[in-house]
Amino acid sequence: MRRLQQVPRQIFTSKDETGAAVSQGRLHVLQEKVQQANRTATRLHQEKPSRRLVGLVYFAGFTNEFANAKTDDAVAEELEGLLLRQREQNNPDRSDALLQIIIANGAEKMEAADIVAEKMLVPLIRDDATIMGVIGFDRTIKETRRAIEILGGEGIATVGTTLTGDGIETASPCTSRSSRPTPGKRCSSMSTRST
């Protein structure tokens, strides 16, 4: 029950319902920068509608009851890479798609990853055809595997950027991991998500 009670206040935000920061320092600053880049993408799309919006969910454990520099740094480094790519993609001089990054919090140690996937990510992605998939999944645990199964069951592509557990790629035909991709796997239902 503790897992479910904590989920709503932690997802898609850097603050809980009291206004307290869920993540601190570098990670919090990066989340704010991603949100600013998302606003820029929306503005550029309004100015030039031919540049379609494309969304990507970054799903990681942003909540730490006690500061954990190693975990926060690892997540921050991935988020920095996404922000760099987002800024490059959203250059006003380009004419191709604009990138928005949606930050999703799987709670401390990704312990609520399955609940977040089912209750929040699936409905969000069903309602927003611009979202092309979910990346991140910073821990190889049963909740992460279940989240991948839930998303894959909906035809949502997933990429585990740091997952190393054996067999995680078998959780869904729509998943791969950047550390060792599975050759020949395709998620055919994602091709219908193009707008």
* 131-182 tens-digit pLDDT: 999 999 877 888 988 999 999 889 898 888 765 555 556 555 455 444 444 4
187 residue type, one letter: C
Contacts for 151 with CB less than 8 Å, ≥ 6 apart = 117, 121, 122, 125, 134, 158, 172, 174, 175
Position 8 confidence tier, pLDDT thresholds 50, 70, 90: very low
110 residue type, one letter: M
Which helix (H) or strand (E) is 195 found in, with range?
none
Residue 166's CB is within 10 A of a number of other CB atoms, namely 7
Model confidence, pTM: 0.78
Q: What does the pLDDT read at residue 20?
A: 44
Bridge partners of 134, per DSSP, are: 57, 158
SS3 160: strand
* 92-125 tens-digit pLDDT: 999 999 999 999 999 888 889 999 999 999 999 9
Q: What does the pLDDT read at residue 110?
A: 87
Q: How far apart are CA 170 and CA 72, in angstroms?
A: 28
Q: What is the mean pLDDT of the chain?
A: 76
